């Protein structure tokens, strides 16, 4: 039909500068239905367009062409076309139609998962995220998909490239919850429990009118990681939604029980709690993590000894902590020294261990650099917070509410609220 | 490393120039790129070198995950790969002595030259690292254990320790560790004054 050819000409002519591109965008939106209905034909026209110069037009055509289900034989061809497009496209042009871009990328991810080659999607999705984001602080709908592929392909390190960014702009809460949950899982896989805790905490304490499956699963893992990292389960922070506070523990009873038996400090109690709930842990795919909780109790008990004793015999350690013999105790202590979890010296001649203070004096250049970068980061966040506070203070709905409250309080404060807002 | 459709030049360069620390990152990057092009790379991927790359930078997490991804058919067809993993497993379980046993327990053919030179590089580092650990963790330690930790005979282990200033008690077969003072940089540079001024300004506003 003529309209497709003429559309191609428009695309080729109007892709030069931002004004032309936005004109092109309105044209394409007008023709959207016609494109969708001719989806199967459009494939033969794609070669007339250059994905890097005519990104917006190419995007519309590609999206209409692939909106039906992808036939198995064409699957790898589909993956290649989309991957090439993602790599070649211009970020400015696709940011004009972000929903279409997201839709293509999500279809790409579905295909990659269906063909069971998640690793094939990792590099392209990372490029897609970077092109879609107005800045590294923006969370896109593709963030959780990317992390999911990294998890499925077991390429955990690849996920770090976006997890290291500090997110401060979020469009869809659902994306944020999934991003935090998958991010937590990646950090767990990399054994960076401190970061995992942070992400899982976000997934359980972010505003939610009603609890949902992601928050529940995140909370289960949060309990386990809290035990591994800190030896205890903290209370909910004040800002947690009431729905979460009321129901999260209810849905994770076996894990709460595990936390209580961990609190007794006895390996035997923890082990029996594990045995009685093992089926539930298996169903949740958390057995590996629970086993790490168990081995962390030995470490925790040994660490507790350092608070009471200056020196202790290896045999005494073995007895207190319920290890088999002095040699096992020695190996545990050695590994903890290697991991920096304890400061001690083993004296094999006497079979004794001497515990020391942390020798860190916080005077080294390395430590100063660490402090420097942390302070700089905090200053950056503080500035951002100030800006958000100022913009809220100007928000009409806030000022109205404040105005309503003011009449009951202080005459002197009237000045800050314009007359028309005083109800 | 035979490769037909795979261009592994960056990897080959890193191995020949002994840039051992870079092998893991180069392999990761290459693998993601190759996979994204839909090239079927699994049969020809140099998994053994990839695993070694992780072991060289002590990233045992990534090594374990990579091992899980390798199809059984590949594992069955490449005995060197299985032998490399045997070393990796012992690193993971911290079977300090077992690491050396796994290395010596396999007949590495000279064909796999690149592999063997990477392995030898890894072993020197491993022994140094374990020696540092012993230095840090022990005040006295038996000759037998030292020998196991360092993968040396008891005589060689004693000589190694004496060379580093340790002393020996032949009757008890014990070595006394000589601690090295830890030197760390503590110089401050004038650029810090600028940062300090900024911090104070920020705190007061």
CB pairs under 8 A between A and B: 100
pLDDT of residue A422: 57
Task: Please name the residue ranges forming H helices in A339-395.
Answer: 365-393
What is the tens place of the pLDDT at every residue in B3-54? 446 788 888 888 888 888 899 999 999 999 999 988 888 888 999 989 999 9
Q: Please state, in angstroms and rounded to a whole number, the distance separating the CA atoms of residues A197 and A218.
A: 10
Instruction: Check: CB of residue A252 under 8 Å from CB of residue A218.
Output: no
Regions in chain A scoring below 50 on pLDDT: 1
Say whether B202 and A346 touch across the interface (CB within 8 A).
no
Pairs from B64-67 (Cβ < 8 Å, separation ≥ 24): B64/B88, B64/B92, B65/A154, B65/A155, B65/A156, B65/A189, B66/A154
A409, HSE (Cβ side, Cα atoms, 13 Å): 11
Q: Please state, in angstroms and rounded to a whole number, the distance separating the CA atoms of residues A410 and A403.
A: 11
pLDDT in tens, chain B (205 residues): 344 467 888 888 888 888 888 999 999 999 999 999 888 888 889 999 899 999 988 899 999 999 999 999 999 998 889 999 999 999 999 998 899 988 888 888 776 777 777 788 788 889 999 999 999 999 999 999 999 999 999 999 999 999 988 998 888 888 888 887 767 766 666 777 777 788 888 878 7
pLDDT of residue B3: 42
Say whether B138 and A191 touch across the interface (CB within 8 A).
no
What is the tens place of the pLDDT at every residue in A369-408? 888 888 888 888 899 899 989 988 888 888 888 877 766 5
By CB atoms closer than 10 A (0-12, 13-18, 19+), residue A203 is buried
**Whole-complex ipTM:** 0.86
Element housing A218 (H / E): helix A213-230
Give the full edge-to-edge strand order of the sheet including B167-169.
A311-313, A352-355, A344-347, B138-142, B174-176, B167-169
Instruction: Check: CB of residue B41 under 8 Å from CB of residue B2.
Output: no
Q: Tokens 């005589």 belong to which residue? A: B155
pLDDT of residue A417: 58
pLDDT of residue B2: 41
Question: Beta partners for B175?
Answer: B141, B168
pLDDT of residue B16: 80
Say whether A348 and B32 touch across the interface (CB within 8 A).
no
What is the residue-wise DSSP string for A139-169? E-THHHHHHHHHHHTT-HHHHHHHHTSPP-E
On average, the pLDDT of chain A sits at 89
Residue among B98, B137, B144, B186 with most chain A CBs within 10 A, to mutate = B137
Minimum CA–CA partner of B33 in chain A? A123
Kindly report the CA angle at B106 between B100 and B108, in degrees rounded to 5?
Answer: 110
Q: Which of A135, A185, A134 is nearest to A160 (CA)?
A: A185
What are the chain B neighbours of A158 within 8 Å (beta carbons)?
28, 32
Say whether A345 and B61 touch across the interface (CB within 8 A).
no
Q: Tokens 């839709």 belong to which residue? A: A103
Question: Beta partners for A387?
Answer: none
């Amino acid at each position: 039909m003529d309209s497709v050819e003429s559309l191609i000409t428009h695309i080729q002519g109007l892709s030069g500068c931002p004004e032309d591109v936005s004109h092109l965008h309105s044209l394409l939106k007008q023709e959207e239905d016609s494109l969708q209905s001719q989806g199967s034909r459009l494939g033969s026209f794609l070669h007339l367009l250059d994905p890097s110069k005519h990104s917006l037009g190419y995007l519309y055509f590609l999206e209409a062409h692939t909106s039906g289900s992808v036939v198995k034989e064409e699957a790898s061809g589909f993956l290649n076309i989309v991957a090439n497009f993602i790599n070649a496209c211009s970020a400015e042009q696709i940011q004009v139609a972000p929903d279409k871009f997201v839709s293509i990328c999500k279809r790409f991810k579905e295909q990659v998962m269906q063909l069971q080659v998640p690793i094939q999607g990792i590099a392209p999705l990372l490029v897609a995220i970077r092109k879609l984001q107005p800045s590294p602080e923006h969370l896109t709908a593709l963030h959780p998909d990317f992390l999911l592929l990294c998890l499925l392909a077991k390429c955990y390190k690849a996920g770090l490239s976006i997890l290291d960014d500090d997110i401060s702009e979020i469009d869809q809460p659902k994306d944020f919850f999934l991003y935090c949950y998958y991010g937590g899982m990646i950090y767990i896989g990399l054994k960076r429990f401190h970061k995992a805790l942070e992400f899982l905490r976000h997934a359980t304490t972010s505003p939610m009118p009603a609890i949902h499956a992601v928050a529940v699963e995140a909370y289960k893992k949060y309990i386990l990681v809290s035990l591994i990292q800190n030896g205890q389960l903290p209370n909910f922070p004040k800002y947690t939604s009431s729905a979460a506070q009321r129901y999260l523990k209810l849905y994770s009873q076996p894990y709460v029980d595990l936390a209580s038996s961990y609190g007794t400090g006895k390996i035997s109690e923890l082990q029996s709690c594990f045995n009685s709930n093992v089926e539930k842990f298996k169903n949740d795919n958390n057995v590996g993590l629970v086993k790490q909780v168990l081995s962390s109790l030995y470490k925790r008990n040994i660490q507790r000894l350092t608070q009471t004793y200056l020196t202790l015999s290896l045999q005494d350690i073995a007895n207190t902590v319920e290890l088999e013999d002095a040699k096992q105790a020695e190996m545990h202590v050695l590994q903890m020294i290697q991991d920096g979890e304890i400061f001690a010296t083993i004296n094999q001649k006497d079979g004794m261990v001497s515990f020391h203070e942390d020798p860190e004096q916080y005077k080294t250049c390395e430590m100063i650099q660490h402090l420097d970068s942390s302070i700089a980061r905090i200053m950056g966040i503080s500035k951002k917070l100030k800006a958000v506070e100022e913009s809220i203070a100007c928000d009409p709905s806030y000022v109205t509410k404040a105005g309503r409250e003011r009449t009951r309080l202080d005459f002197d404060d009237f000045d800050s609220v314009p007359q028309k807002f005083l109800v | 490393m035979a490769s037909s459709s795979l261009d592994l030049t960056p990897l080959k360069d890193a191995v020949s120039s002994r840039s051992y620390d870079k092998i893991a990152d180069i392999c990761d990057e290459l693998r993601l790129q190759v996979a994204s092009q839909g090239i079927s790379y699994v049969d020809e991927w140099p998994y053994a070198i990839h695993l070694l790359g992780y072991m060289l930078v002590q990233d045992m997490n990534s090594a374990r995950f990579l091992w899980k991804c390798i199809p059984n058919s590949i594992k069955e067809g490449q005995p060197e790969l299985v032998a490399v993993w045997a070393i990796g497993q012992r690193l993971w379980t911290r079977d300090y002595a077992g690491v050396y046993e796994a290395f010596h327990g396999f007949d590495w053919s000279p064909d796999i030259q690149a592999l063997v030179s990477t392995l030898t590089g890894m072993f020197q580092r491993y022994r140094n690292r374990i020696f540092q650990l012993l230095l840090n963790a022990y005040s006295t330690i038996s000759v037998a254990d030292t020998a196991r930790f360092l993968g040396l005979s008891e005589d060689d282990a004693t000589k190694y320790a004496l060379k580093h200033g340790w002393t020996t008690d032949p009757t008890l077969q014990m070595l006394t560790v000589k601690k090295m003072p830890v030197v760390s940089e503590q110089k401050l540079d004038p650029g810090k004054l600028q940062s300090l001024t900024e911090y104070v300004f920020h705190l007061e506003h």
